[in-house]
């Protein structure tokens, strides 16, 4: 690989020859010089598309816009750019115009599960709060492609206030996940205001921020930003590395700033065909992340959003990757592999099977090496009957400290106190016949 500093200077020269590489580290300069058209892209990278290809790309651009920071562009290796993982994630492909029959505009029903604009309330105790709809780089695999560049969905201050009100009025919300767009596209002052408002709500225990800035514009992680975040602890940050090539000296410096500020860091990777659908690439990536104090959190199966057909792998590929990770490397370097259920079911973990069989007092398990083993269950385990009357229980949960809400789903079926025997879909013929009677 040629010297990275050398390539940076080349690209800076092509942008504005009188400017020096110091400006490279200025995030506002990077944003001002974001690449939004094919000509600039060709010029900066020193490549050329032929006429036919260009027409196809332009058609794609009409539907899904392009934006790449000079920093992220500089990570593309021009020699074999078509197979380059940075190029594939950032530059439009005509394949985006292919819409498969099962594709959806909003596969996760985020707009459906939205009690007020900007809030998706899907899980009992936490909400997704969209506070920005812009990003410094438009990921080609974005699950919210429908909103990219859509000026009508920019959350204005009154929207954000309504979202904050919703959270304040719903005491079960203990975890607020700020997302977008990229929340770090907002100014330090504005973020400080949002975080202050959220922090003033007593039941908000943790605030999480999802941002790809450490990957696509690491210079956004300034000392000033980190000072703002630190004031509102506990703040967790989740970022989005997909390939080892994205872990550069600059991104490492950004991660270090965040980690040194006491912010627990997580990473969400999307499994992408042609980019990272290889267990060796992902294992390398996860090792690099933990070296930089980032915990691999989720590995996502690619969503069913429109324009992502060419990025999707089989689910088997994901399970194969998990098989190569679990047991083979540090537990904390292994993310959970999840499929975000179409229709708004939320994230569903998927794993190889480790539980092979079962009797009344034994379970049979296999490990990563193929060793088959048995675990003898205790002969006399006295389960604790739970009627949720903690005062009469010998276990010491002090419920005055732990607010509790309804139990739902399979957990409810398992519980002692709820008499429900089954979860039944509403729209079966059998249920309809009952309604008639």
Ligand X SMILES: *Cc1c(COP(=O)(O)O)cnc(C)c1O
120 binds ligand X (CB under 6 A): yes
339 binds ligand X (CB under 6 A): no
In the complex, what is the shortest distance from the CB of residue 133 to ligand X, in angstroms, rounded to a whole number? 16
Q: Which of 347, 365, 393, 418 binds ligand X (CB under 6 A)?
A: 347
User: Is residue 386 annotated as part of the catalytic site, yes or no?
Assistant: no
User: Is residue 257 annotated as part of the catalytic site, yes or no?
Assistant: no
| Bond before 399 cis per omega within 30 degrees | no
User: Is residue 368 annotated as part of the catalytic site, yes or no?
Assistant: no
> Of the listed pieces 14-22, 121-129, 363-371, 405-413, which binds ligand X according to CB under 6 A?
121-129
Instruction: Name 376's Cβ contacts closer than 8 Å, sequence gap at least 6.
Output: 361, 362
Closest among 75, 102, 48, 357 to 216, alpha carbons compared: 75
> Of the listed pieces 17-25, 97-105, 119-127, 227-235, which binds ligand X according to CB under 6 A?
119-127
Between 10 and 113, CB nearer to ligand X: 113
144 binds ligand X (CB under 6 A): no
> Of the listed pieces 35-43, 122-130, 311-319, 404-412, which binds ligand X according to CB under 6 A?
122-130
Element (H, E) at 430: helix 429-436
> Of the listed pieces 37-45, 115-123, 315-323, 360-368, which binds ligand X according to CB under 6 A?
115-123
Which tokens in the block code for residue 38? 């094919």
Binding string, 163-182, against ligand X, x = CB under 6 A? --------------x-----
Q: DSSP per residue over 355-398, as a string?
A: EEEE-SSEEEEE-TT--EEEEEPPS---PPP--S-GGG-SS---
Vertex 298: Cα angle to 319 and 329 (nearest 5): 65
Between 88 and 173, CB nearer to ligand X: 173
User: Is residue 347 annotated as part of the catalytic site, yes or no?
Assistant: yes
Distance CA 106, CA 130 (A): 15
> Of the listed pieces 20-28, 51-59, 84-92, 118-126, which binds ligand X according to CB under 6 A?
118-126
240 binds ligand X (CB under 6 A): no
In the complex, what is the shortest distance from the CB of residue 30 to ligand X, in angstroms, rounded to a whole number? 28
Instruction: Name 225's Cβ contacts closer than 8 Å, sequence gap at least 6.
Output: 184, 188, 191
Tell me which residue has tokens 């010491």.
396
Which tokens in the block code for residue 328? 């083979």
Catalytic, out of 135, 182, 192, 298: 135
304 binds ligand X (CB under 6 A): no
Q: Which of 45, 128, 228, 294 binds ligand X (CB under 6 A)?
A: 128
List binders of ligand X among 400-429 (CB under 6 A): none
236 binds ligand X (CB under 6 A): no
Instruction: Name 82's Cβ contacts closer than 8 Å, sequence gap at least 6.
Output: none
- The per-residue b/e assignment along 173-207, b for 16 or more CB within 10 angstroms, e otherwise, is bbebbbbbbbbbbbeeebbbbbbebbeebeebeeb
In the complex, what is the shortest distance from the CB of residue 119 to ligand X, in angstroms, rounded to a whole number? 9
In the complex, what is the shortest distance from the CB of residue 359 to ligand X, in angstroms, rounded to a whole number? 33
Rg (CA), the chain: 24
Q: DSSP per residue over 124-175, as a string?
A: TTEEEEE-----SS--TT-TTGGGTT-GGGPPPHHHHHHHHHHHHT-TT--E
Q: Which of 7, 33, 126, 220 binds ligand X (CB under 6 A)?
A: 126
CA 407 to each of CA 124, 196, 345, 384, 418: distance values in angstroms, whole numbers, following the listed order? 9, 31, 16, 17, 9
Between 123 and 190, CB nearer to ligand X: 123
Helices (H) and strands (E) in the chain, counts: 15, 12
Between 113 and 323, CB nearer to ligand X: 113
Distance CA 11, CA 4 (A): 11
- Count of residues engaged in binding ligand X, rule: CB under 6 A: 7
Catalytic, out of 84, 182, 192, 303: 303
User: Is residue 139 annotated as part of the catalytic site, yes or no?
Assistant: yes
Binding string, 23-42, against ligand X, x = CB under 6 A? --------------------
User: Is residue 144 annotated as part of the catalytic site, yes or no?
Assistant: yes
Which residues of this chain interact with ligand X, rule CB under 6 A?
A: 120, 122-123, 126, 128, 177, 347
Show which residues are catalytic.
122-123, 126, 135, 139, 142, 144, 303, 340, 347
């Amino acid at each position: 690989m040629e010297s990275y500093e050398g390539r940076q200077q080349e690209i800076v020269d092509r942008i504005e020859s009188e400017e020096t590489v110091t400006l490279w580290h200025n995030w506002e300069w990077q944003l001002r010089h974001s690449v939004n058209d094919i000509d600039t892209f060709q010029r900066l990278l020193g490549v050329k598309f032929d006429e036919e290809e260009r027409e196809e790309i332009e058609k794609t651009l009409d539907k899904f816009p392009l934006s790449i920071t000079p920093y992220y562009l500089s990570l593309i290796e021009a020699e074999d750019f078509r197979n380059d993982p940075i190029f594939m994630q950032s530059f439009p492909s005509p394949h985006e115009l292919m819409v498969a029959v099962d594709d959806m505009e909003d596969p996760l029903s985020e707009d459906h599960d939205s009690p007020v604009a900007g809030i998706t309330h899907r899980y009992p105790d936490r909400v997704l709060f969209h506070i920005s709809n812009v990003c410094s780089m438009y990921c080609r695999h974005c699950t919210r492609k429908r909103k990219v560049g859509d000026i009508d969905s920019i959350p204005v201050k009154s929207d954000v206030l309504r979202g904050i009100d919703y959270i304040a009025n719903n005491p079960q919300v203990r975890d607020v996940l700020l997302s977008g767009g990229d929340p770090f596209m907002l100014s330090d002052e504005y973020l400080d205001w949002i975080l202050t408002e959220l922090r003033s709500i007593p039941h908000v225990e943790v605030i999480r921020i999802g941002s790809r800035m450490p990957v696509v514009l690491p210079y956004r992680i300034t000392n000033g930003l980190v000072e703002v975040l630190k004031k509102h602890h506990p703040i967790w940050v989740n970022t989005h590395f997909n390939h080892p090539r994205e872990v550069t000296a600059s991104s490492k410096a950004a991660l270090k700033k965040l980690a040194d500020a006491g912010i627990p860091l997580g990473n969400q990777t999307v499994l992408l065909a042609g980019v990272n659908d290889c267990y060796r690439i992902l294992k390398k990536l996860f090792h690099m992340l933990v070296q930089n104090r980032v915990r691999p959190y989720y590995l996502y199966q690619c969503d069913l959003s429109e324009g992502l057909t060419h990025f999707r792998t089989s689910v088997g590929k994901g399970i194969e990757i998990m098989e190569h990770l679990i047991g083979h490397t540090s537990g904390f370097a292994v993310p959970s592999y999840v499929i975000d259920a179409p229709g708004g079911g939320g994230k569903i973990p998927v794993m190889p099977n480790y539980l092979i069989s079962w009797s009344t007092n034994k379970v049979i398990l296999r490990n990563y090496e193929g060793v088959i083993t048995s675990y003898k269950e205790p002969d006399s385990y006295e389960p604790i009957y739970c009627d949720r009357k903690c005062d009469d229980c010998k276990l010491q949960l002090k419920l005055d400290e732990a607010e509790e809400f309804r139990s739902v789903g399979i957990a409810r079926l398992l519980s002692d106190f709820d008499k429900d025997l089954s979860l039944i879909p509403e729209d079966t013929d059998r249920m309809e016949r009952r309604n008639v009677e």
